[in-house]
Structure 1
């Protein structure tokens, strides 16, 4: 391995540069030119270390982000990802990554490059949430390429590990009355519920089930005698039934009497699924299958659950915010304060956490994790850790002091 100066002519014009010369882990001779000797020396030092550790990738062996993205899509399909996940990968790649960075080779990716890429996305009108999502996808693309030996560095993951204190502090915590419905709001909400959406919304409040889990729930997994609901499947955005979001998603949730009684009544009138068979009189044979189906017994859409179920129920209960607009009669137009089913999941988490003397269940962090189906306790604590009650530290310190100095 060496660095030496080279001089050559191109169409009568003389050029010079510094050539880093080395042998990779496969015994193949590699060369790379630099304008300055110190850059060649620095590269050679890094290359030696990477070759020794067996992670070096020569420039000629790397590929573009667009090419790596195609391999990433194939990896997802081979891993059996749900259709909705594969669709999201394809959209991120086609709409947000390839147009801005598709021709960039993986060996050119650095932390400054990543920041410039994110800035370019924002300037092109992408929202902060979309920039975050696309960055996660880009990190996954690079990680897949790393596992194939096509690149060494992953600036997305490196930046994640080195995230500044300012960025961590900027992440706001969920607030009761802002992101999480308060107990008073939930009481108003439950009192005003009626019609075909009441069973689903009551179940959502007292189980914290994800919308996909509610859509995929079947009566075989509801035990009204044991007062439990077992989660073993979910319905994705394409109405395809699949496994829960993670292994921890497979769980059993205890349900209170209000859910038991509501579901017992609902079961009597719940729409049934057409089995495709006919009885002796030629009538269609129907089967009790999904707990919260459409009128035809099929999987309900997420859009209907929100637009026909949750949002009208919130408005009927008076849990609204002023949009700042008025109708033709000059009356203010109100919208639902909480427009996503995840708000009810947040309430359930807070209800599990709140102490019993405050009307909650007073569960431990581990028990809350199990009920929510989080894959890790870190996820539970990162999201809801600030809601867990804390003792009086003054009294605890005083007691510890007395014990130490006694």
Structure 2
């Protein structure tokens, strides 16, 4: 039973005070109480507590931890479970830069779904949809971890999502084939094997940098992804189970890799693309020392912009240039090449390493639509020949 009582008293300074006390027993039969300045707030809390107790998921403020503490526990759990250094770094950034400054002092028991929804709307006015989605998902993960350790009985952010607006959805536009040829032609003998492998296999940067010779069968013309290197060059498992996959190699790449193997610097674990020190390459070094300079040499340079979209200038007042394409664009180049040659959707999903066909369809559906139109045109062109 939940009771709401009015309390009146006189403060030490002689001021008359009024408050409303909610007195109740939780789902474990333990007596609880909480005081509010207005009757309306007390009634709202009483209704909420009754519903939570009925569902067996009520947590009193006294037993609750703050969002900041819960965030630290979430990060510690990820660290203990062996998550990659880059993942832990991303968790800390989301927590320290976004979640804790806004909600850190709030007790988990005080956090409501309405507050999360309101914050989502606030985020959407100052952040991109992508970033807002990451922040809300991180908050939900924090609350899920808190549930696992018994700190709360419900996750009020579990079904609060940031939908992707159709007008914001960016279609994947793979690099022009002519631009890819320019890159290949501008590459040095040491750069060409790396660039060709990226363009023709669709491997992620991390997968390329973690690739070993034991994963390539030059006789069979196949490449198997078994590991990846994080942004610091530390080797680990693929991004997901779907990341473990075998991809066929075009004959031209087999020839290029065969030649490269003869002159590649040997390493203790047999890296295909090692650094000068014999370790896995770091992603930033690939971009800064090879990929962007290669594009500039190939005539694929664009001005480098500051946070306000203005061109950056060097000390002499000349525009600073960078490469036209992000490295991930080479992954799309591989996918678009396969699609142009009529690959089926399931095979595309496997070769590109997506966890679901839906993700593949969302990413490359507009390119596949052209393939479906080809079939339709072929049918229309010949239907008068058949009864």
Say whether the fold is shared (TM-score over 0.5).
yes
Deviation digits for residues 92-136 of structure 1, max 9, x if unmatched?
A: 33344334432122233345644665788899x977765554443
Q: TM-score, normalised by structure 1?
A: 0.80
Q: CA deviation at 1:72?
A: 0.6
1:153–1:55 distance in 2 versus 1, CA, 3 Å: closer
Deviation digits for residues 279-299 of structure 1, max 9, x if unmatched?
A: xxxxxxxx5710000123221
Contact kept? 2:211, 2:273, Cα under 8 Å: yes
Identify unmatched segments of 5+ residues in structure 1.
274-286, 354-359, 400-406
Q: What secondary structure is seen at the aligned counterpart in 2 of 1:159?
A: coil
Structure 2 partner of 1:388:
368
RMSD (CA atoms): 3.3
Q: CA deviation at 1:174?
A: 2.3
Q: CA deviation at 1:67?
A: 0.7
For 1:331 and 1:31, locate their aligned partners in 2 and report how far apart those are by CA, in whole Å.
68
Identify unmatched segments of 5+ residues in structure 2.
305-310, 381-387
Which deviates the most, 321-330 or 75-84? 321-330
Deviation digits for residues 47-106 of structure 1, max 9, x if unmatched?
A: 233222222222222211111012112210222111221232233333443344321222
Q: CA deviation at 1:342?
A: 0.7
1:301–1:364 distance in 2 versus 1, CA, 3 Å: same
**2:249 pairs with one of 252, 255, 259:** 255
Asked if residue 141 in structure 1 is aligned to residue 135 in structure 2, the reply is no
For 2:62 and 2:40, locate their aligned partners in 1 and report how far apart those are by CA, in whole Å.
22
1:201–1:77 distance in 2 versus 1, CA, 3 Å: same
For 1:112 and 1:320, locate their aligned partners in 2 and report how far apart those are by CA, in whole Å.
47
For 1:56 and 1:332, locate their aligned partners in 2 and report how far apart those are by CA, in whole Å.
60
Q: CA deviation at 1:377?
A: 2.1
1:170–1:366 distance in 2 versus 1, CA, 3 Å: same
1:389–1:116 distance in 2 versus 1, CA, 3 Å: closer
Structure 1 partner of 2:166:
169
Which deviates the most, 291-300 or 208-217? 291-300
Asked if residue 292 in structure 1 is aligned to residue 246 in structure 2, the reply is no
Q: CA deviation at 1:215?
A: 0.8
Structure 1 partner of 2:308:
none
Q: TM-score, normalised by structure 2?
A: 0.84
Structure 2 partner of 1:8:
8
Deviation digits for residues 161-215 of structure 1, max 9, x if unmatched?
A: xx46xx5224322242xxx212222222223322311111100001111111111
Asked if residue 217 in structure 1 is aligned to residue 211 in structure 2, the reply is yes
Deviation digits for residues 250-280 of structure 1, max 9, x if unmatched?
A: 111111111111100000000112xxxxxxx
Structure 2 partner of 1:59:
61
Deviation digits for residues 7-64 of structure 1, max 9, x if unmatched?
A: 2313343333433332212111122334444544443333233222222222222211
Q: CA deviation at 1:219?
A: 0.3
Asked if residue 205 in structure 1 is aligned to residue 191 in structure 2, the reply is no
Q: What secondary structure is seen at the aligned counterpart in 2 of 1:388?
A: helix
Asked if residue 104 in structure 1 is aligned to residue 106 in structure 2, the reply is yes
Q: What secondary structure is seen at the aligned counterpart in 2 of 1:297?
A: coil
Within 5 Å, give how 1:217-236 maps onto structure 2: 217-236=211-230
For 2:157 and 2:364, locate their aligned partners in 1 and report how far apart those are by CA, in whole Å.
26
Structure 1 partner of 2:352:
372
